[in-house]
Structure 1
Amino acid sequence: MPERASASGGLSALQHSSGGRNGTSFHGCLRNLYINGKLQDLGAGLDLPGCQPCQRDTCINGDCHPTGQRGFTCTCHPGWTGTLCDQQVSNPCDGNKCIYGTCVPINSYSYSCRCQPGFTGVLCDERDHDTVNSCSLSHCKHGKCRVSGLGKAYCECNSGYTGEACDREVACRGERIRDVYQRQQGYAACQTQEKVSRLECRGSCPGGSEGQGSCCTPLRSKRRKYTFHCTDGSSFVQEVEKVVKCGCTKCSS
């Protein structure tokens, strides 16, 4: 049955029954209000509490979004979850027990440990002797041994070399560098004031090695004059060879 109230005392009676003279303690939503047998239009200028789905603090730690006359959803602030955003999201890595590794969250309640090179175990608290000794067993002829994030040894080759053991020279090529030219003038060290871009010939040629067959050498160069400044305060101008192309030619004796 809908609530009915008389015209003379309907609203005041509701105010009185709500526990306050001004009705401030009323909680809920008034619907189907009849005065003198006539259904009242509560949407016509009457601001009645509780009739909107999104009230203050409906979503405890988030923003409320109405989905209809009575429904709503909550968009939670960072660090909170739940229908009303009243559950704090836990960080499983807080107080983790990874000894020599990094904590990796799996979900809100569990984690795994990513071990540093040289360590193993669930908590990365055990020495991985195979990894520790892997570089001592690896022979990098022209390079340095490194250990990957997975604990595997590999060779980091010097410029001009390739292969798993850095034992093969790459094909002859001109490697561009940008550096100063340096000269010795008596007891003084001298160099150009500005860096000069040029090629350095590096690599190997098929069917040959130093001293026999073909070698990787400059094929074309041009002479340029540069000013050298010395540590004793003097300076001079000198013409130098600037390599512009490299290739394979017969090795000089």
Structure 2
Amino acid sequence: MSALQTAVLLLLLSCFSLIAPPCTGGGSVCSCNITNSRCDEFGVCSCDPGWDGELCDRCVPMPGCVHGSCLQPWQCTCETGWGGRFCDKDLTVCLQKQPCQNGATCVMEDSGDFTCLCLEGFHGPTCQKKTGPCYQRRSPCKNGGLCEDADGFASKLTCLCLAGFTGQRCETNVDDCQMTPCATGATCVDGINRFSCLCPAGFTGRFCTISLEDCSSRPCLNAGRCLDRARGFHCVCQPGFTGTTCEIPVNRSNASINASINASTNSSTNPGHRSPGWERPVYDDRPLKVTVSERSAASLSDLQLLVVLVLLGVTVCVVLLTAILIMWGRCRDCGHAPCWPSPSQQGERNSRQAPRDDPESQSSFLTAAEPQKKKLNVEVIQT
């Protein structure tokens, strides 16, 4: 092959590499836009910021762009008839909708907004208001009143007053004490849309309806709680007592004992106070019986019984597992021999171990051999 042929071959290979797809992945051709994305190992296009689409060939417009498009990311090129930064201003509003009233002229601005040039005697954003009494002079309404003249088309103005004021020009303060809201002879003081009550001695509250003297003598017995009322008081009794002053026990058998205790407590803490029908208790020598109610032992609940059964089952499983592991260890030490020998093998093992283990058998064996030794010694001496 000549040098010219080699050069031509290299030139063809380089041209083929230029026209080949920009990237491949997973054995498939990736057709992503190489300037706006990259191709991963699976042949999927990963777009750069500002680009979107399956092939990353569609730009992302400016956020908030309504009637616009883009050639580059974050642009907002307005469509025909729309303007403004976000293409949300209708440029045909003056021609189609004609928002200006009363003969005003509509003018479009560069920002996309419109302005109404009002005729003489009119004003407002769309020239909808007439130069009426409220606009021609300063508002005559007092104390924060709002001047109204029907957008200037009314011949006379009116004042819309705030709460607490009245009159043609809102100049009069409403008398809030006119309905005499204060009770028990209290003095009412008028304010701006409010009032206050100056209570006499012994009363309190917004309307002076709460008496301070009803509960001062502590009329509620047996730790009852006293509540002041407009006329009198009310006792909130503790459990087990009832009555106007919580003087009646719910258990009638102990009524006399509790009444005596309450009366003695009252006389010691407040000698001047005597409840109606109070008499000094009379004590006799009869023994006082006290009944103690015994509460039976509560049985186990279903949840507690379930827990006990689960713990019992776990304990049995642990014991069985321990026994199995011990027996398996013994069988492993035995090797191939059976772990539980037969009765005959057990007897032979015992017979073999008896001479070594039993001290009595050893002593009897020695005693039986001693005469034979003496006999042999005598025969030797005679010879």
TM-score, normalization: structure 1? 0.32
- Which of 1 and 2 has higher RCO (CA within 8 Å, sep 6+)? 1
Query: In proportion to residue count, which structure has more strand?
Result: 1
* TM-score normalised by length of structure 2: 0.23
